[in-house]
Structure 1
Amino acid sequence: MESFFVSTGIVALAEIGDKTQLLSFLLAAKFRKPLPIAAGILVATLFNHAFAAAIGSWLTQALGPEVLRWILGISFIAMAGWMLIPDKLDEDDAKLAKYGVFMTTLIAFFLAEMGDKTQIATVALAAKFHAFWPVLAGTTFGMMLANVPAVYCGSKLAGRMPVTLVHRIAAVIFVILGVMTLMGMGSEMGL
């Protein structure tokens, strides 16, 4: 259960102000159909994070525990620094295809999430916890926690969110995870 809750919390915090959350606001403003947008986000996230969690699970098999511990520890600390860099929506992410609300959301969200901090975090969390399904469920739930309110509440929510504070909290959590991992405190990893 720890892997589910940690994955949910980290991704929900990391997603605040992220380019995919900005894309959620954009899609909601353009289409004004929250249910197919939320469904597209869910499906895109499941595919994207399943791929990322599979890579993380593979890394646990491919690398020795000592090498993996150092890579993960440094990766978590690097993620903390990345959290402090504000995201902007790329013009390419904002170009919407004409395939209907659900497919447009699925394609745009999947592409925007490729190489994004939450996808990289999913790789690291799956490797750290050796728990594909709980990490996939947690990171997906965290994405939905951050993006569904953006879709439904849109402009009302955007101006009131203390994005900088939320990013700082997420950065602190990533640093703590990184230091704990480097110190060998990852009980699931047997370090």
Structure 2
Amino acid sequence: MESFIVSTGIVALAEIGDKTQLLSLVLAARFRKPWPIVFGILVATLANHGLAGALGSWVTTLLGPDVLRWVLGASFIAMALWMLIPDKLDPSEGDAAPRFGVFLTTVVVFFLAEMGDKTQIATVMLAAQYNAWATVVAGTTLGMMLANAPVVWLGDAITRRVPLRLVHIVSAVIFMVLGCVALLGWA
């Protein structure tokens, strides 16, 4: 249960102000059909984080516990530093042609935007740390939905009220603590 709760919390925090959250806002403003967008985000996240979680679980079979502890600790600390760099939405990411419909457009654009993103990398690291693919993927997917679905429905009313810098700092602190815990071998 810990892997699910930690994964949900970390990704929900990390996603606030992230480029895929901005992409959710762009898709909502462009298509004005929240249900297909939310379902598209869910499918894209399940696919993306499912693959990322599988990679994280596979890494645990390659590395011994001591090496894995150092890799994870350093990775979490690097993620903490990365959290302090705010994301910007690439203008081309919201310009997918709607000829395949809102749902499929959302799935493809969101899946591609999530490649190499902080939350995808966090999913790899969490799956490696906990060696619990299903609960980590379920948690990170729920975290993505908690951060993105309200943006689709409530739009910029939320983004104007949330102090993104504070959220990034809190996320960075959490990743830093996880990195130190891993390095010190407390987990």
Q: Quick check: TM above 0.5?
A: yes
Whichever residue aligns with residue 108 of structure 2, its letter is I
Unaligned segments of structure 1, at least 5 residues? 187-191
Q: Write out the 4+ residue segments of structure 1 that deviate beyond 4 Å after TM superposition.
A: none
Whichever residue aligns with residue 3 of structure 1, its letter is S
Give the TM-score normalised by the residue count of structure 2: 0.98
Alignment partner, residue 178 of structure 1: 179
Alignment partner, residue 73 of structure 1: 73
Q: Determine helix, strand or coil for the equivalent of 1:60.
A: helix
Q: Determine helix, strand or coil for the equivalent of 2:141.
A: helix
> Within 5 A, what are the aligned runs for 1:105-124?
105-124=106-125
Q: Per-residue deviation at 1:126?
A: 0.1
**Partners of 1:116 and 1:161 in 2: CA distance:** 21
Residues 153-176 of structure 1 show CA distances to partners (whole Å, capped at 9, x for unaligned) of 002111111110011000000000
Whichever residue aligns with residue 168 of structure 2, its letter is H
Residues 33-89 of structure 1 show CA distances to partners (whole Å, capped at 9, x for unaligned) of 100000000000000000000000000011111111000000000000000001001
Q: Determine helix, strand or coil for the equivalent of 1:159.
A: helix
**Partners of 2:8 and 2:97 in 1: CA distance:** 30
Q: Determine helix, strand or coil for the equivalent of 1:54.
A: helix
Alignment partner, residue 24 of structure 1: 24
Question: What is the aligned length?
Answer: 186
**Partners of 2:87 and 2:137 in 1: CA distance:** 23
Whichever residue aligns with residue 87 of structure 2, its letter is D
Unaligned segments of structure 2, at least 5 residues? none
Alignment partner, residue 94 of structure 1: 94
Alignment partner, residue 35 of structure 1: 35
**Partners of 1:138 and 1:119 in 2: CA distance:** 12
Alignment partner, residue 59 of structure 2: 59
**Partners of 2:116 and 2:156 in 1: CA distance:** 27
Whichever residue aligns with residue 42 of structure 1, its letter is L
CA RMSD of aligned residues (A): 0.6
Whichever residue aligns with residue 2 of structure 1, its letter is E
Alignment partner, residue 138 of structure 2: 137
Q: Determine helix, strand or coil for the equivalent of 1:157.
A: helix
Q: Per-residue deviation at 1:91?
A: 2.4
